[in-house]
Structure formats: C-alpha cells, structure tokens
Structure 1
Amino acid sequence: MGKRKSGAKQQQQQQQQQRRSQWSFKRLMVGAILGFLVIQVIRIELQAAGSTKTPDEWRALVKQRPYARLPTDARSPCPMLNLLANHGFLPRDGRHISKAQLYDALVLVGAPPTITYGFLTTVVYRMYHRVAPDAPFWTNFVAAPTIDLDMLAIHNLIEHDVSLTRLDSALDDTAIPQANLVRRMHQWTLQHDGQLDMQAEHDLRKIRWYESTLSNPKSHLGLLYQFSSSTECALLLDILGRDGTMRADHIEALLLDERFPDDWYPREKAYPALQALVRPLKCWYGIRKSAATLESLQALSNDTQQILV
C-alpha cells in the first residue's frame, strides 16, 4: 500500500515537472519572439531617425523636384501618394513602385516608421499581388515586388466610398479629385476660423456620407472602412496638416492640384506611433457624433453648396 502511494506521488511529481518544463519553454519562446520584435522596431526607428527634414532642408530638396505630371501617369485615390509622385519622390509615372521606395517617401514626410513598414509589408504589397491562374498555391502568400498607384483604386481593398475629395468608385474615377468637393472644403474652412480642424473634417465627412447614400445605390462604408477613413483623417490633419489642423490656403494646392505649396514643409519628427493609433479612434468617434446634415451646406455660397445627388 505504501509502495503504491509512493509510486503515485513520484508520478505526480514527474507530471508537475513536465508541466513546469513545458511552461518554461513556452515562456522562453514568447520572450524570444518579443525580443526579436523589439529589436526590429528599434532597428526600423533608428534607420528612419535621419529621414525627416528641417524646413530649410525641405525647401532645398523640393526645389530639385518641381511639380510635373503627364496625362498618362498612374495616380491613386490618395492625395499624399499623388503629391509624392508629382514631385518625383516616387516614380513620376506612378508605376513599378517598390516597397522600399514607398516606405522612404512616406517616412520623408513624417509617417510613423514602424507602423508604415508593417502596413506596407503585411497588407499593401500582399493585398495587391496579382496571382496568375496557373500559379502554385503558395504564391497566394507572396508579396508583390512592385505596385502601380492606380492599383490602389481597386474598390473595397483599401479604397472605399465616402471620400472627402473623390466621388464613389461607382460614379467616377477615384484617382481624380473633384474640384467642387475640394473647393467646398476650402469654403467651409474659411467660414470656420480659416483652418480645417478636427470638427470641420468630421462634419464634412458626415455630409459626404449622407451624399454617398443618396447618390450611389452601391454605397458601402462598413466598420472596417469607417476606421480606414478615420486613419485618412489623421494623415490629412497631422501629416499633410499639422497638429490636427490644415491651413485653408493649403487645401486646394494639396488636395486638388496635388502639389506641395511653396511654404509647406513636412513634420520635423516622425508622427508618434501612439498618436497614430489613437487619433483615428478619435476621428471615428467624432464622425459618428457629428451633427452635420445635408442642410448644413446651406450656409455655403451657391457655387459650393451643390449636393451631389
């Protein structure tokens, strides 16, 4: 009887030791993965540390890259990417853009390095990889070596309805900014203290949402794309703009002509990662809570209050 109890106790101790060993191995693996990720983040941030420019450095740089665009150039629904291509920070024709080229251009104007690198690596260049019908199965998981800017106009991948500066894809080419929408933004801003701030952006986006549902039978802005548009809000006001605002006299140059104004310069330090994560949530909440309606346009002058329905 005593031997059986002793044997059972030894077996129990062995099982406990095995569980402790397994748990130690799991902790070791988790620690190794976290350590690797931390090292990668540090590496990316250090490499990007010297990428941003002072205002004087930027002015000297942009003088060497004047605005130029041909009708045959590929362009995207994203004004920021078009700006970078129009000034030669990306290939001017908008084609065959590598991940390194796109990353370097975005970091140059202050995009958060780690988030940008992760998004391009895990989303953009995999999402837009074109798989041939006879390609092996594993090629579905391969990143595209390059992308063209007009590929970003493929509907409901990253591009979505309810843009501030474009009509929905069912109504027109989303690579083309709409002059009346951009000028409406300018007019709205002039009547709201001369700056496009967070509240103005939320109100204008809410109005565009109403317009989209009326003018486009295929209009769709699900939760995923609500957050996508909220990320655009952060990029618009914190990278093209600054500290949650955009100057009224910059709106048409940046969003309609898609060229850098002479007195514009990028962030001198990269957009903080925490702010890049929190700001879109604030934008999303602000859009949802905006009380703006189609009737809100009646305060604008006749040439900009047209409702696109």
Structure 2
Amino acid sequence: MNTVLVATIAVAGLCSAYSEVARDWKPSDLGDSRSPCPLLNALANHGYLPHGGRDLDRDTVLGALEDAVNLDRPLSDFFFQAALSTVPLANATQLSLHHLNQHNAIEHDASLSRPDAFFSSHQDVFDPSIFAETRAHWPDPVISVRQAAAARLGRVQTSNRTNPAFELNRAGAPASVAETAVYLIAFGDVEAGTVRREYVEYLFENERLPCELGWEKSKFVLTQKHLEAMSGRVVAETNSLLNGAGIRDVTTVSQSPLSGDEL
C-alpha cells in the first residue's frame, strides 16, 4: 500500500479517535460568560457547552458533562440543581456560567486557582499566583491523594491567615473538597487515587481538556459513589496531615465527608 495513503488513513483514524474525546477548542471572548470552575469553562471553550456560556438548560449541562468526562446524569443533575440556585430569578430553569461567581454559594474562599472574594470580584479569572501556591504541593509528575489534600489544605490555611473575612460555610466547604476529588476522578486513576500533574496544570492554566497530552475520558461512567469515595480519601489524608503536624484545621466543617445532601 502507498505509504502516503497509509499515513493519511492513520492520521484520519487518530483525528476520529481524538474527536470522540474533545472538540475544537477556542478561548473565551470578551463578553462570554465564565465561572470559577476551570472544568465548566473548558467545556464552553471546547463547545460541549455553548461557547458564550449563557442560557444553559439541564439537558445541555448534563449532556456536556457526560460527553466530555463521562459523568453520570444523576450526579451531573445534582451539580446542575446546585448551580441553578445561584440564579437570581425565581423558578429559573437556565443559568449562565457567571452566576456561579456568587460568593459562598458554590464559589468559596481558598480556591485552588482564584483569589478570595474579599480581595477580588473576578473569581471567573484564573490567578497564576494563587495556582503557584497550589502547584507547590505537587512536587512529583504524578499527584497522589495526599499531595492533592495538602494543596487544598495549604490554600485553606493561607486564606484563613490572610483574609480577614475568611469563611468556608456549609456550601463552600464541601465544594472545596469536591473540586479536588473531581480532578482526581475525572483526569486520573480512580482506584489508585493518582493523576498526572501535567493534566491538572493544563486544565487549570488553559481551561482546556488535556487531550493533547494523552488524556482520555474515563472508559466507565463516573458516579456519586466515585466522588464520595475520593472525597473521603481527601478528607482522610487531610486529617492525617493535620495530626502529623500536631495542629487542628481552622475549618472543621471542611473536613466532613461528602454524602447525600452535602455532596
């Protein structure tokens, strides 16, 4: 067979496989709606969600999370309903990504990549200096659950020390744990509790799925069970870190395992 034809077929096959994982990517434009969540922003940048990030209904959001990261619909629906509560309109059925910037609803202090609301109103914008602190807890090419927990705990402690209005309430605290659990299960090995550091850095820094680095979405559906289990592991490692240092976390509620209504 002609080598050029072979190469053409191979490239076509690669592109076909790649398109099953991620669509074309385009950065946000001025006027696009974006959130404090790098994953949701990435889904808009890839076109899984409308690029403008506005007027998103349930089916659109659930379908995007299923297609992009293989999150099951019951868990996605829970997240959607929580997000819908940030819309300042009674009986809303749609939301825009910027609605999630509402402080102490889903958005919270001690973000891994955003400044606290006390210091800035731009929680939809990635902050390299904040993320640099987070990354400092990931010294190895592969992030373990313990390192992920250390990064989250480090941000909580820094925020508590520097922000006079610091708070992790009953909504923000579980969200703080869940955002760490989500990047571990969506981009890493669910059983091992590990994830390649470059995948996570690429997602946060570019708001882009790390397909070009070799990541592929989970071949099995990710459920509430997976999220709860990983959240519990993050909490356990956090408590271990605190006990080893002989200190007590300032946000006890943030260490509570996620389950049921608190997920």
Q: TM-score range by the shorter chain?
A: 0.7 to 0.9
Contact 1:80 1:240 in 2 (8 A): no
Q: Which structure 2 residue ranges, 5 or more long, are not aligned? A: 1-13, 246-263
Which one-letter code corresponds to 1:174 in the other structure? Q
Question: Is 2:235 the counterpart of 1:284?
Answer: yes
Deviation per CA, 1:253-275: give whole Å up to 9, x if none. Answer: 20011112312221111113322
How many Å separate the matches in 2 of 1:229 and 1:74? Answer: 22
Cα offset for 1:78?
0.6
Question: Is 2:221 the counterpart of 1:259?
Answer: no
Cα offset for 1:227?
2.0
- Identify if the C-alpha distance between structure 1 residues 241 and 184 changes in structure 2 by more than 3 Å, giving closer, same or farther: farther
1:149 to 63, 75, 97: 97
Question: Is 2:61 the counterpart of 1:110?
Answer: no
Cα offset for 1:200?
0.7
Cα offset for 1:177?
1.5
- Identify if the C-alpha distance between structure 1 residues 63 and 105 changes in structure 2 by more than 3 Å, giving closer, same or farther: closer
- Identify if the C-alpha distance between structure 1 residues 222 and 118 changes in structure 2 by more than 3 Å, giving closer, same or farther: closer
Q: List aligned pairs for 1:157-306, cutoff 5 A.
A: 157-172=105-120, 173-189=122-138, 191=139, 193-243=140-190, 244-261=193-210, 262=212, 263-291=214-242
Contact 1:74 1:149 in 2 (8 A): yes
Cα offset for 1:224?
4.4
Cα offset for 1:170?
1.4
Determine the structure 1 residue equivalent to 2:261.
Answer: none
Determine the structure 2 residue equivalent to 1:128.
Answer: 86
How many Å separate the matches in 2 of 1:63 and 1:150? Answer: 23
Cα offset for 1:74?
1.3
Which one-letter code corresponds to 1:201 in the other structure? A
Normalised by the length of structure 2, the TM-score is: 0.77
Contact 2:23 2:48 in 1 (8 A): no
- Identify if the C-alpha distance between structure 1 residues 223 and 117 changes in structure 2 by more than 3 Å, giving closer, same or farther: closer
Which one-letter code corresponds to 1:128 in the other structure? T
Which one-letter code corresponds to 1:145 in the other structure? T
Cα offset for 1:152?
0.1
The 3-state SS of whatever aligns with 2:24 is coil
1:77 to 36, 41, 49: 36
Whose helix proportion is higher, 1 or 2?
1
How many Å separate the matches in 1 of 2:48 and 2:112? Answer: 24
How many Å separate the matches in 1 of 2:204 and 2:145? Answer: 17
Q: CA RMSD in A?
A: 2.4
Determine the structure 2 residue equivalent to 1:22.
Answer: none
Which one-letter code corresponds to 1:116 in the other structure? S
Normalised by the length of structure 1, the TM-score is: 0.66
Q: Which structure 1 residue ranges, 5 or more long, are not aligned? A: 1-54, 132-139, 294-309
Cα offset for 1:223?
4.9
Contact 2:188 2:196 in 1 (8 A): yes
Q: How many residues align?
A: 225
- Identify if the C-alpha distance between structure 1 residues 248 and 216 changes in structure 2 by more than 3 Å, giving closer, same or farther: same
Contact 2:185 2:227 in 1 (8 A): no
Moved more, 95-104 or 250-259: 250-259
- Identify if the C-alpha distance between structure 1 residues 204 and 146 changes in structure 2 by more than 3 Å, giving closer, same or farther: same
Contact 1:58 1:265 in 2 (8 A): no
Which one-letter code corresponds to 1:69 in the other structure? S
How many Å separate the matches in 2 of 1:264 and 1:227? Answer: 27
Contact 2:22 2:46 in 1 (8 A): no
The 3-state SS of whatever aligns with 1:290 is helix
